[in-house]
Structure 1
């Protein structure tokens, strides 16, 4: 696993999210397939976050550069918010709730995917490139933290 693989993981997770929406498009949804799609995305996220922590978060958090450490703090803070949102989503959208309102469930999944896409954008423009520079031993010019 390399830093470059993390970029592909992002795209794979979003594809799995779209697959989840497709599975939920049936009225009533096909619950076994929906459960499998939810499990698949959760497993992909868990693997990705573990690899991202090892390859990017830990090195940036241990860096002597205040900007790198600020990126690591933001990553952690944003991840906590994302996990809270995801937990609330999963808690609300039980199988019974999905069966009762599959259209609203699809809208809720799309909202979660938009949040993930925004995070992916930040990670791919700031967080992962900083980890790449650090791994390559290159120092970026001094920047303002924040």
Structure 2
């Protein structure tokens, strides 16, 4: 059974990603840094983000790029091209900040986590306000409250 792609599903996934990265930012700010809370949040974020990106790659971008709307197709291609940088930044974050590096440099980890949160917040805001409105049958975009991630 094929999954139907809806704006609401993607926005719900963004809300979950926002909650997890927000919790990670909060944990990264604590001293002593609670490693037992940080590790599961990082891996949950990784699973959620990779699943979401795969859905966009397999369903959203092909839908918009093969559709009749040239504006949607061009916008989708631009977002798809930008995704490489975000994916690389996320992979580097996960690689560079393993348990030992986090323990050795909690302030650096906090800074890196806040930076990642800001990048994700910007991407979420732009997808929800610019890209997702082109999904066939999409409802108008609601206001995106991703600013809390920049704390």
Aligned to 2:119: 115
1:67-120 Cα shifts (integer Å, max 9, x gaps): 222112112111111011112222221211111111221111111111111111
1:38 CA drift (Å): 0.6
Do the aligned residues in 2 keep the contact of 1:21 with 1:106 (CA within 8 Å)? yes
TM-score by length of 2: 0.78
Which of 66, 69, 79 aligns to 1:65? It is 69
Do the aligned residues in 2 keep the contact of 1:20 with 1:38 (CA within 8 Å)? yes
Is 2:125 aligned against 1:124? no
1:15-43 Cα shifts (integer Å, max 9, x gaps): 10111122333434332321111111111
Which of 84, 87, 94 aligns to 2:91? It is 87
RMSD between aligned alpha carbons? 2.0
TM-score by length of 1: 0.80
SS of the aligned residue for 2:75 comes to helix
Q: Distance in 1 between matches of 2:7 and 2:54?
A: 12
SS of the aligned residue for 1:24 comes to helix
Which of 1, 9, 15 aligns to 1:11? It is 15
Q: Distance in 2 between matches of 1:54 and 1:3?
A: 15
SS of the aligned residue for 1:118 comes to helix
Is 2:26 aligned against 1:22? yes
- Contiguous gaps of at least 5 residues in structure 2: 139-151
- Contiguous gaps of at least 5 residues in structure 1: 138-146
Pairs aligned (count): 134
SS of the aligned residue for 2:111 comes to helix
Q: Distance in 2 between matches of 1:106 and 1:14?
A: 16
Is 2:57 aligned against 1:56? no
